[in-house]
Amino acid sequence: MLTALSHAGAKWLKVKQQGVASIAALRVLRDDTLQGASRGASRDRILRPLLMRKELLKLSASAPNWWKMPETSVEAAERFDTKHRARSARADQLCILSRKATSPRDALALKFDEALFAVRTNRYFELRAVAPAEKVIPRARRPKEGKVIEPKPFDVYKSIWEPRRKDADSRDVYDTDEVEFNRFSIDWEELLRLGITKLILMHDDGGDDGVEDEDGDGIPDEVEDVGMVLWKIHDVLSSIYTYYSIQSGSISDGIGLNAWTDFTDDFNLVSKTSQFCQRKDVDLIFIEVNAKSKLAAREIKKQPSTRELAVDGGGELSLSRLEFYQALVRLAICKYVKGGEIPDVSDAVERLVSTDIMNRAIALESRNREHLVVDANLFRARYAYTKPVCTVLEANLPSLETLYDALCNRSYARMKPRGSKDRLAVGEWLGFLYESKLIGKDISERDAMLCFAFSRMVVVDTRTEIGKRRDAMIQFQGFMEALCRASTLKALPTAAELKAAGCDNAPQWIEENHDKYMAILSTRGTPWGIDPVRPVEESLQMVLDIVHHAVAKTTSSAQAGDISVRSRVVSTEQAMRFVTKLKGRVKA
């Protein structure tokens, strides 16, 4: 049974042959693009002539009447509609042609699957560049021909962020949908190997889709439906998982029991009146998932074909990401299926993640001000991958590279043989911020870990030691991004306050106005996930000034005011001496 499920899970990774995407996309075509007449048999409706299909609804039509869409949003919606029309038309055509197919592996059937998957994965995506702080753009020099040379638009792929593409699994400076799907596919394959199929079928209502295998891939349709529900909201679940993992004090060990308790309490997932979802039941879910997954992982590792792989099980008493998914499925069963409120497991999971968790996440953000759900790509596009921020980073690049190399060497020496000479561990990152006096009332240690965690790029396969190491550490561009994120949280003086005090930089103002600085620490810091209240390049420059001053003060008798007149380049010797001061501050 385990071998069959493993084989079926591997097939699920092949996009053209995977049933989850086919079934979900097929439902989209049935419900959204067919004539809204009487509903006959599914096959009859699918085989209607193309001329009877209704016109696809434009995405912009779903916007509320009172909202005037910005031009960038209109353009993005039109791009989405154009792709959707083209992909839907191709899927319609292949739907009719596939009648001639004799099996799910027939070339026409595979092409139909591929077309359906293309419809399902079409996404709306809009990049909004942050307006530069300078209000006046200097006029370009006019050549003899009388033509004005326009300034070149900023291109992140020709900036200091470009090297990130070589290291990232996405081969891009962003985490793409494709790389996130590939990571989820491996998680889903592991869940199948860990027995989630048996769990779902044991508690499903026994309807046709619970035992049917419409696409013939060896996985019951009900199980595929659960996978599709989890994939649909995977980005939200992944963000919440990261948040509560860090609440457990770890980047890579997963969600501990206390953090699991906080999560289920924060999202009101425990019911005192429920027969199957009281606190003891929810705690038992954690214990059972953790124990069974660890046992299964050890058994899988004994098999010769999977000896080099290990299920990503996190810490011994914590839930990894895939175990978190499994715990949510069990929680949905206890909360809705066992009590008889929702008989279908996939519907129960959808109710839990798409309604209960999503609605509560929004409510928590309104109450606590900090955001549990954060889009890493959105921060990059709006605040990090901009020309003004790149200008600041380029001006400080030599010092940043020197400090980063010294910190990486410290990580490698501490973590042998698990370390890496070209990657930074979270322990050294925290030690660096502590020694730079950047962690305090405004930026907590948890905030600092969140900055680190969300500056990582998606790693597809974390089952190997190399994969785990790449997922738990950041490279140089991740280090720069983490500094950008930390600078948006830091309580800092304004430019007007610096001028009024006659100070050239932030560290000088902090030392000469200690009482004022202590006062703004509690009032001017920005909660995690909130949009920054000032230009990021301004905050980033002040944070880098503070770092330079900390290095200078640690390695010499320099005063704060000396920074404006001394070289801003940190030498290798200074960096190494600074890093040695981290001893005692770095977590094991």
Q: Where are the alpha helices (DSSP H) in 233-355?
A: 234-247, 257-266, 279-302, 321-332, 345-350
Q: Which of 147-156, 395-404, 579-588 has the lowest mean pLDDT?
A: 579-588
Q: Beta-strand (E) ranges in 348-507?
A: none
- Asked if the model's pLDDT at residue 227 lies above 60, the reply is yes
- In sequence order, the 6+-apart residues with CB closer than 8 A to the CB of 220 are 197, 200, 201, 209, 210, 211, 212, 213
pLDDT winner (highest mean) among 55-64, 120-129, 468-477: 468-477
The pLDDT, as a whole number, for residue 60 is 75
In the block, tokens 């006029």 appear at 139
Compare 337 and 69 and report the one with higher pLDDT: 337
Distance CA 436, CA 430 (A): 10
Contact by Cβ (8 Å): 247, 259: yes
The mean pLDDT of 203-224, rounded to a whole number, is 66
pLDDT at 151 over 80: no
The whole-angstrom separation of Cα 177 and Cα 408 is: 30
Tens digit of each residue's pLDDT (9 = 90 or more) over 314-342: 556 889 999 999 999 999 999 999 988 99
- The per-residue pLDDT for range 460-490, each reduced to its tens digit, is 999 888 898 899 999 999 999 999 999 999 9
What is the Cα–Cα distance from 312 to 296, expressed in whole angstroms? 11
pLDDT for the residue 11: 39
C-alpha distances in Å from residue 57, one per residue of 80, 90, 208, 562: 12, 17, 32, 63
Which residues on neighbouring strands pair with residue 474, listed in sequence order?
A: 424
Place of tokens 């790509």: 377
Integer Cα distance of 114 and 96 in angstroms:
15
Return all residues near 207 (Cβ < 8 A) that are at least 6 apart.
Answer: 222, 343, 344
Q: Is the pTM of this model over 0.85?
A: no
Token pair for 517: 């600085």
Do 153 and 387 touch, CB atoms closer than 8 A? no
Element at 59 (helix H, strand E): none
Q: What is the dihedral of CA 362, 481, 413, 312, to 10 degrees?
A: 40
- Rounded mean pLDDT of 394-401? 95
Task: Enumerate long-range contacts of 294-298, CB under 8 Å, 24 or more apart.
Answer: 296/193, 296/194, 296/195
Cα 167–chain centre separation: 17
Q: Is residue 255 within 8 Å of residue 244, measured between CB atoms?
A: yes
Residue for token pair 């549990």: 372
Please give the average per-residue pLDDT across 494-519, as a whole number. 92
Q: In terms of Cα–Cα distance, which of 327, 180, 309 is closest to 267?
A: 327
> Helix H segments across 194-278?
196-203, 208-211, 221-232, 234-247, 257-266
559: number of Cβ within 10 Å? 13
Any idea of the CA torsion for 226, 230, 233, 235, to the nearest 10 degrees? -170
**pLDDT tens-digit series, residues 526-578:** 999 999 989 999 999 999 999 999 998 887 754 444 444 345 789 999 999 99
